[in-house]
Chains A and B, each alone.
Chain A
Amino acid sequence: QSVLTQPPSASGTPGQRVTISCSGSSSNIGSNSVNWYQQLPGTAPKLLIRSDNERPSGVPDRFSGSKSGTSASLAISGLQSEDEADYFCAAWDVSLNGHVVFGGGTKLTVL
């Protein structure tokens, strides 16, 4: 059971805009920044968004992050077939002396 809650699956057609949600609590998302990772099949996760909405160098601007209260969202616009992957959210949680918590992941299918 993951501390952060994500829908297990999402889908969209090429060119569409899709969003993936991540729900937490006051001890994590509600008080700390959110990071997003993309994991392509058979590969290691890759940082996609850090500090709620910052894109690391090399990440296309089709990817964007937002946060409101104890929830965060990842938006992908102009969906492409190569975006088919698992997406994970993560944040620092101040409970139990502090630790990083992850969402269970959302598998994005491009139809």
Chain B
Amino acid sequence: QVQLQESGPGLVKPSQTLSLTCIVSGGSITSRGYYWSWIRQHPGKGLEWIGYIYYNARTYYNPSLKSRVTISVDTFKNQFSLKLNSVTAADTAVYYCARVGVGGSGWYDWFDPWGLGTLVTVSS
């Protein structure tokens, strides 16, 4: 079955760019009918959707983060990536990647499966 694994630095300095990659295994990132998403969870808090991408590079972003976020896809490596620039301590969180399926309303809105998550701390 499809599995996802996040990778990237666990520590990023303020004002710099957070960069993470999600490697997809057990299935192709070009599978029709699925988007690929990033979601984060601040320590002890709820979940926040960051955005998602289709294999053809079509993207949707959270309006609250859109000015700082770029999600890209590499179909040859079967992976997709997140870049979040100008980070502050408020961006400290566990970052998850997940596959996204289409729900009953026609929007891509359910996440399954998820990666294990990776903690990124923003600190000097």
Contact = CB atoms under 8 A, between A and B. Distances in A.
Overall SS of chain B's interface:
strand
A45 B114 contact: yes
A50 B101 CA distance: 10
B116 to A, nearest CB: 6
Given A32-B103, A35-B103, A47 B46 contact: no
Contact of A96 (B49, B63, B96, B110): B63
A33 B103 contact: yes
A88 B46 CA distance: 8
Contacts of B86: none
B46 A35 contact: no
Interface residues of A, number: 30
Nearest to B115: A44
A84 interface: no
Interface of B: 45-49, 60-63, 96, 101, 103-105, 107, 109-117
